[in-house]
Amino acid sequence: MNKNRVVDIITECVANNQLMSLTYKRERDKKQITRMVEPYEVKEVEGYWYLYAHDTTGGYKKGQGRTRTTKSFILENIVSVRNVNRDFIPRYQTL
What pLDDT shows up at residue 65? 60
What pLDDT shows up at residue 26? 87
pLDDT digits (tens, 9 = 90+) for 44-61: 999 999 999 999 987 666
pTM: 0.84
For the chain, percent of residues with pLDDT exceeding 90: 69
51-80 CB burial, b ≥16 within 10 A, e <16: bbbbbeeeeeeeeeeeeeeebebebebbee
* Helices within the chain (DSSP H only): 3-16
- Asked whether residue 62 carries a pLDDT value surpassing 90, the answer given is no
Report the distance separating Cα 55 and Cα 39, nearest Å.
Answer: 9
